[in-house]
Structure 1
């Protein structure tokens, strides 16, 4: 039984989320509270397995509360935040403080939205309950002034994407967006190498660790991190401040270049394309694939078709099986493939499924992945 505490200053949100969660076997809402002060009083008597937490509340804000909890009694926490650009910036502070994942709520039609996307909330709570908090690497704090040795790099502005759920009851394959390839390499191997990465729960922290270890000479990188719309732009900007690699939220036509990384926009799919002697990306609408948009399966399939043996596929921490089939397609097209190991994952779901599908050549810890990525960029022996 997963025991949940809901903390939100909206009585409507508390009531509807309690109703949604209580309907599902294996989940018990042990309490609700309008702010962290009331919640702490209840939690002194009975501690939850998972906390669902708003970030903007009276008396004590959610970020302050989260830092207190993670310092004194680490507990898997799902942030329930408004889907706004301001909310995105605040929620990144929550990930910085140790939150496991994000679910979003709109500013209008709140009750209808919560009920319509109840599966999103159920899955968020379930995956949080399985998270290994010890493997969450705290995000670096970014102040107004850059850290020593860091020079902020300009990031091209991109438009926000419309709201969309990450999950749905219907489960479509990558066929819904992109036709499958023939299992053969798209082209012979060249010195023009790319890296495709897919991740979900725990991935924000894992990607920060990865990118802060990479030099500007790293191969071109494309990333799908399961996040809601608006959040990916803030996340890309954050990584760009911390890394020597130039990182931005992807737009159609962006080239995949050495020393650069493109993050798929929340609510959109991202595809790798071969454009003459170069690689670029296409950002497209489309249905949810493997219950996600952006989908790792879509990215990996496109990399298999466009780059073949010139690509390295890496699947990292996350819940579910998105990416497992696409990674196998990359392997069949001649790409090398890597899965993060169980010992270093926050949730060993996506890598586990990829291994089960038979598409993984190498399994390694997060600490080993930066060197493996650089080896791909510098050696045709891969």
Structure 2
């Protein structure tokens, strides 16, 4: 995007101080322009229709027309990427908004310290740019009808960041006819939200999805979400595979870390380790991908065609450790086929 064509953002929030703060933070970048603000959903819809912004930031609790109704109406009237701005106290509301079509969310800091506001500024810029690049070809996954029994011990590690919540959901949906797989998911997300994320995915079925806890045992048909602020690793104890959720070390750039998860899979499963890198900014997962490849395992990455942000997949591919690059809708069926091949060989 050139300097002559700044990214246009509409801020919808019933709090005047919040509107001013978000405008100031967004416009601290020369390539972002807040074209207008709105104090409720009705005004927000009118502004969308009149100004055609690239991205909308949305508060959920507003008078007259709230965030949920705004999302429903926007989807039918003028589909536009929406980033929800929510407090930590409303975790369930955030995931309901994602179900209604919001692109992503940002958690408001509980205290507006300089460090917290700087983190908010960086996250705003990252996600509004990511939302602007949402791929039009992302369509609902078409589920396969033929059911192939899966090897119960088939375990897949999944890493994602920006744009990840809907991508992880779509991946699980594509695996729904084959519910005996076990997945370990490292999604970059604040610790106050990972349990709500797991609860939301659990309601979709048929997988049992939960936030991982120290001592959990890997089981077929279960998906474990790495807890925010901690790591997710696997240990082999006798005939069982046990999960650990240790705190991050000084060397960890992320908590949870895709690298830590993938390295753990490589150590425990060796040539049977499987890692999948989905959309996200940065390079988390690249070192872990190399570990899995060195152990003889498989690493796949989401293709640039469907990834909202091609940063993490691209960095993994650049290591030479990735054996397959696939659009999001093809990853699930390909995992099913891989499990089938392993069962018969």
Shorter-chain TM-score category? 0.7 to 0.9
Matched, 1:312 2:274: yes
Structure 2's unaligned 5+ residue stretches are 1-5, 142-150
Contact 1:290 1:322 in 2 (8 A): no
Partner Cα separation in structure 2 for residue 289 and residue 205 of structure 1: 29
Give the corresponding residue for 1:199.
160
Shift of 1:116: 4.9
2:332 pairs, out of 359, 370, 376, with: 370
Normalised by the length of structure 2, the TM-score is 0.85
Give the corresponding residue for 1:32.
37
Between 1:279-288 and 1:298-307, the stretch displaced more is: 279-288
Give the corresponding residue for 1:114.
117
2:55 pairs, out of 50, 68, 75, with: 50
Distance 1:128 1:271, change over 3 A: same
Distance 1:202 1:377, change over 3 A: same
Partner Cα separation in structure 1 for residue 205 and residue 102 of structure 2: 22
Contact 1:308 1:333 in 2 (8 A): yes
Contact 1:105 1:114 in 2 (8 A): no
Partner Cα separation in structure 2 for residue 208 and residue 51 of structure 1: 22
Partner Cα separation in structure 2 for residue 61 and residue 136 of structure 1: 27
Contact 1:223 1:263 in 2 (8 A): yes
- Give SS of 2:245's match: strand
Question: Alignment length, in residue pairs?
Answer: 328
Matched, 1:95 2:98: yes
Distance 1:363 1:289, change over 3 A: farther
Alignment of 1:1-382 (within 5 A): 1-84=6-89, 87-106=90-109, 108-110=110-112, 112=114, 113-135=116-138, 137=140, 192-212=153-173, 213-215=175-177, 218-286=180-248, 292-380=254-342
Instruction: Tell me the alpha carbon deviations over residues 206-244 of structure 1, each in whole angstroms, 9 at most, x when there is no partner.
Output: 322332333565332101122222322122122222222
Distance 1:326 1:64, change over 3 A: same
Distance 1:116 1:344, change over 3 A: closer
Distance 1:48 1:111, change over 3 A: farther
Shift of 1:137: 4.2
Shift of 1:30: 1.5
- Give SS of 1:102's match: strand
Shift of 1:251: 0.4
Instruction: Tell me the alpha carbon deviations over residues 306-332 of structure 1, each in whole angstroms, 9 at most, x when there is no partner.
Output: 222121111122333221222122111
Distance 1:301 1:285, change over 3 A: same
Q: Which has the higher contact order (CA 8 A, sep 6+)?
A: 1
Contact 2:135 2:308 in 1 (8 A): yes
Contact 1:255 1:281 in 2 (8 A): yes
Shift of 1:43: 3.4
Shift of 1:261: 1.4
Shift of 1:288: 8.7
- Give SS of 1:266's match: coil
Instruction: Give the aligned CA root-mean-square deviation in angstroms.
Output: 2.6
Distance 1:134 1:368, change over 3 A: closer
Shift of 1:295: 2.0
- Give SS of 1:342's match: coil
Instruction: Tell me the alpha carbon deviations over residues 143-191 of structure 1, each in whole angstroms, 9 at most, x when there is no partner.
Output: xxxxxxxxxxxxxxxxxxxxxxxxxxxxxxxxxxxxxxxxxxxxxxx99
Partner Cα separation in structure 2 for residue 133 and residue 284 of structure 1: 39
Partner Cα separation in structure 2 for residue 202 and residue 22 of structure 1: 22
Normalised by the length of structure 1, the TM-score is 0.78
Partner Cα separation in structure 1 for residue 44 and residue 210 of structure 2: 38
- Give SS of 1:265's match: coil
